[in-house]
Amino acid sequence: MLQERLCAGFAARFGDVPALVARAPGRVNLIGEHTDYNDGFALPVAIPLETRVAFRPGGDRMLVCALDFGEDDAFDPAAVAPAPGWRAYVRGVVDQLGRAGVRVPGGALAIAGDIDRGTGLSSSASLEVALATVLLAAAGERWDPLRVALLAQRAECDFVGVRCGNLDQIASAATAAGHALLIDCRSLDLRQIAMPADVAVLIVQSGVVRGLLDGEYNLRRQQCERAARELGVAALRDADAALLAAAQGRLDPVDHRRARHVIGDSRRTLAAAAALAAGDLVATGRLMRESHVSQAEDFGITVPHTDRLAALLNAAIGEAGGARQTGGGFGGAVVALLPRHRLADVQAAVLSDYRTPAGEPPEITVAYPAAGASLIR
Ligand code: GLA
């Protein structure tokens, strides 16, 4: 469907068929939140929702059509100027490719996707990674997925102005189908963890829309960096509970709580990856519940609606799995891991008991772990 919409939109706008099409998935993070920019660990899954980009080279200018918004952009790919909104993501990727020495040709480019923005599923990373994938192919270059991801991350930091970590882009570029990806955000060591066949990933939208540009995200990052400095370590990755406890009283109390979340969630991520690899959903679920509490009490990034949704899911699932708010925070989605045979009753429970701020039942996605970005034409 997405492919038809993309190609029909390309034809309507540019009167032709695209030469190249790439796709890149969104992601849902199972555990390890705000750990990436602290050099810690995260455990995302790529989801079946994605962004697709179609391209046909020709001419000096880059003509871009965002089909979902019915909006256009046009610029010189050899001298990219900043622009606001969705255009910043496109221009940022082209700019970064140029800086990396890639000769991006001009041409016609159309974008379509099925990830709603602000739902915490990384529509922006999937756009960046899909774009980089299609434009690298157009330039005749082959890059490994990690290199693509890091370029996409730089585009977001430099052109969009969110000092994001590398989790979203790596998840979108490098995850294998049917797997979760354990990322060491410092060494960039990646481990594919096979999702046990009887485990389902459920994503429930709180209906509270968030944005990373509202300042809270960059503020959390500053608090973490200050805590690391105060603890005398390069990043919170290098601190542990004992070091933090010894610094109680020296650290600002808010920074102390922020650091406690990051140190704890990084440790929980490693434990959850090991538990999942061993098929131990009970232990994985317990770690996810602890992670939610830590996000709420120490990191201060949950909101009443996601607290309620996570509590409802955890009550419905019981000890058999677990649920937590996922992504940057302040709304977005709650992710749950549960035995596949429990999907129907757990979905029925949230549909009957949870209402979004608009008073509606939540949107639910059963996310079979998808493959990272690829060229499909
Ligand atoms: C956003 C950022 C990521 C990461 C998460 C929180 O999605 O883009 O880099 O920091 O928030 O884990």
CATH number of the CATH domain containing 337: 3.30.70.890
Helix, strand, coil shares, percent, the chain, to 5 = 45, 20, 35
Residue range(s) defining the domain that contains residue 28: 2-192
Q: List own/partner pairs for 274-278 with CB under 8 A and 24 or more apart.
A: 276/30, 276/43, 276/180, 276/193, 276/195, 276/196, 276/199, 276/337, 277/193, 277/194
Question: What is the tally of structural domains in the chain?
Answer: 2
pLDDT tens string 224-243: 999 999 999 999 999 999 99
188 Cβ contact list (under 8 Å, min separation 6): 146, 166, 170
Identify whether residues 156 and 242 lie together within a single domain.
no
Tell me, yes or no, if 168 is annotated catalytic: yes
- Whole-number average pLDDT of the chain: 96
Identify whether residues 162 and 306 lie together within a single domain.
no
pLDDT at 271: 98
- Tell me which of 167, 192, 217 is where a domain ends: 192
Identify whether residues 46 and 178 lie together within a single domain.
yes
- Tell me which of 160, 192, 224 is where a domain ends: 192
Identify whether residues 323 and 307 lie together within a single domain.
yes
For ligand 1, say whether the CB of 362 is within 6 Å of any of its atoms: no
Look at the pTM and tell me if it is higher than 0.85: yes
In a domain, 49, yes or no: yes
Is pLDDT of 101 > 60? yes
Torsion angle (degrees, nearest 10) of CA 181, 268, 275, 26? -30
Given the structure tokens 């039942």, which residue do they identify?
Answer: 361
Average pLDDT on 245-261 reads: 96
Counting residues of the chain whose pLDDT is more than 70, the rounded percentage is 99
- Output the residue whose Cα is nearest ligand 1's atom 1: 328
Q: Which atom of ligand 1 lies closest to the CA of 328?
A: 11
- Tell me which of 192, 222, 256 is where a domain ends: 192
In a domain, 373, yes or no: no
For ligand 1, say whether the CB of 168 is within 6 Å of any of its atoms: yes
Identify whether residues 133 and 209 lie together within a single domain.
no
Average pLDDT on 92-116 reads: 97
* CATH for 89: 3.30.230.10
- Output the residue whose Cα is nearest ligand 1's atom 2: 164
Identify whether residues 166 and 34 lie together within a single domain.
yes
pLDDT at 213: 54
